[in-house]
Amino acid sequence: MESNNPNILIIGGGAAGFFTAINLAEQRPDLSITILERGKDVLQKVRISGGGRCNVTHAEFDPRPLTTNYPRGEKELLGPFHKFMTGDTIAWFADRGVELKIEDDGRMFPTTDSSQTIIDCFLGLADRLNIKVLTSQNVIAIKKEESWNIATKTSEFTCDQLVVTAGSSPKIWEMMKSLDHTIVDAVPSLFTFNLADKAITDLAGIALEARVEIPSLKLESQGPLLITHWGFSGPAILKMSAWGAVQLHGSQYKFDVVINWLNYLSYEDCYELLLKQREQSKKQLSNDKPFDLPKRLWSYLIESLDLSDKTWADCSNAKLQQLAKTLTASVFKIDGKSTFKEEFVTAGGIDLKEVDFRTFGSKKQDNLYFAGEILNIDAITGGFNFQNAWTGGWTVAQAIAIK
């Protein structure tokens, strides 16, 4: 077996691994740094992020509101975000020739709209800074003696400082357990809801602001809701799947979801508006909708109550009460989930109580650091998971640089 002895070894050739390596090498060119990547290519999640555009970060420039996008890690990231967050990320990339732009929803992408821009930046800097990048290096053992000893299927390494940025790798998690770390079991986060109701899935493509609840799990969310050919998606659903990842996993993804198609309008206020509509209109309900709802959705809702061919005057109080309930609390049976595009995110990883967030260092082992999704930190969609990777990588680099 080939033997290697870098000062710093980083397990994981993704966003957090490269960011750690580059920031450290820029400060300490005297250190030898090696990145080990299990696959044949590095930065694969960067490549597919944001539909191939790379959602680098999000335009939220205050640490505390930024933390509220992390179902797990909100409290722990507040301190680190005061040292390195969105504005620092933008400046970091700009200083290295990569300009970012802000989209209407706050997501930030390279102006080239290509993830290859980020990949080229990282690979170019790694090459210039003499960072060794080794692919097809599947780590099979990690041991701590006087220094760290790492074995892959083809090589052996020793190093003074070990940084683990291997994401949700079950094998690496098992190795962390052997080093006395607690692993919070992985459960999916950021997914959409499946349902078998063809009447609603036939409305695929409709999007609107809505309020969504799962009463049995005491979960609620608000925001854009998208009807798809398999069920429900959009930010309202994705946020709920992230915040409720553990509870939804426990339910085996079978539950009732309640949707208020009128967003914040209450049942009582809706009923009052329907009574006024009956007083003022002689038209059929199908031709006279009192709310700003997509026409196909309105048709579906009134058809479900056999009101399509009725005039407003035909509607009894009982029927209007039924309609008000349907508009503000439609119930659907969810049966399963679908992963959100290729951007699969899991909740789970190193227990956050075992990490010193001043350095992102292990409280269990000296000279061991973590960054990225190996930690039990995850975020809603929109660039927040990458911001966690940048902040963690930068903080680890600062901590090692002054040793």
Q: What value does the CA radius of gyration of the chain take, rounded to a whole number of Å? A: 25
Helix ranges restricted to H, 84-228: 86-95, 115-128, 170-178, 198-201
**Confidence band (pLDDT; 50, 70, 90) for 346?**
confident
| 25, β-bridge pairs | none
**Confidence band (pLDDT; 50, 70, 90) for 381?**
confident
Confidence (pLDDT) at 293: 97
For the record, the structure tokens of 64 come out as 């505390």
pLDDT at position 340 over 80: no
* 394-400 mean pLDDT: 98
Q: For 167-173, which contacts have Cβ atoms below 8 Å and span 24 or more sequence positions? A: 167/12, 167/14, 167/45, 167/372, 167/373, 167/374, 168/346, 168/348, 168/349, 168/373, 168/374, 169/12, 169/38, 169/374, 171/139, 171/140, 172/11, 172/139, 172/374, 173/349, 173/374
Alpha carbon distances (Å) from 130 to 31, 164, 166: 10, 20, 21
d(CA 217, CA 66): 25
Q: Tokens 């061991």 sit at which residue?
A: 368
Which carries the bigger pLDDT value, residue 339 or residue 54? 54
Confidence (pLDDT) at 341: 52
Which 8-state DSSP code applies to residue 284?
B
**Alpha carbon distance, N-terminus to C-terminus of the chain:** 30
Kind and range of the H or E run holding 334: strand 330-335
pLDDT at position 251 over 50: yes
Q: Do residues 221 and 269 lie in contact, with contact meaning Cβ atoms separated by under 8 Å?
A: no
Q: Do residues 366 and 400 lie in contact, with contact meaning Cβ atoms separated by under 8 Å?
A: no
Q: Do residues 223 and 253 lie in contact, with contact meaning Cβ atoms separated by under 8 Å?
A: no
Length of the chain equals 403
d(CA 246, CA 36): 31
Please, what are the domains in the chain? 2-187+346-401 (3.50.50.60), 191-339 (no CATH)
Q: Give this prediction's pTM.
A: 0.89
**Residue 187 in 3-state DSSP?**
strand
Edge-to-edge, what's the strand order for the sheet holding 219-227? Answer: 330-335, 254-260, 207-214, 219-227, 231-233, 191-194, 337-339
Print burial letters for 342-365: b (CB count within 10 Å at least 16), e (below 16).
ebebbbbbbbbebbebeebbbeeb
pLDDT at position 5 over 70: yes
184 residue type, one letter? V
d(CA 111, CA 322): 50
* 123-148 mean pLDDT: 97
Average pLDDT, the chain: 95
pLDDT at position 129 over 90: yes
Backbone angles phi, psi at 155, to 5 degrees: -145, 165
d(CA 353, CA 347): 15
Q: Do residues 310 and 281 lie in contact, with contact meaning Cβ atoms separated by under 8 Å?
A: no
Q: What is the percent of the chain with per-residue pLDDT over 90, rounded to a whole number? A: 94
Which 8-state DSSP code applies to residue 71?
T
pLDDT at position 1 over 80: no
* 363-374 mean pLDDT: 97
* 59-68 mean pLDDT: 98
pLDDT tens-digit profile of 35-45? 999 999 999 99
Residues 6+ apart with CB under 8 A from 306: none
How many CB atoms are located within 10 Å of the residue 6 CB?
19
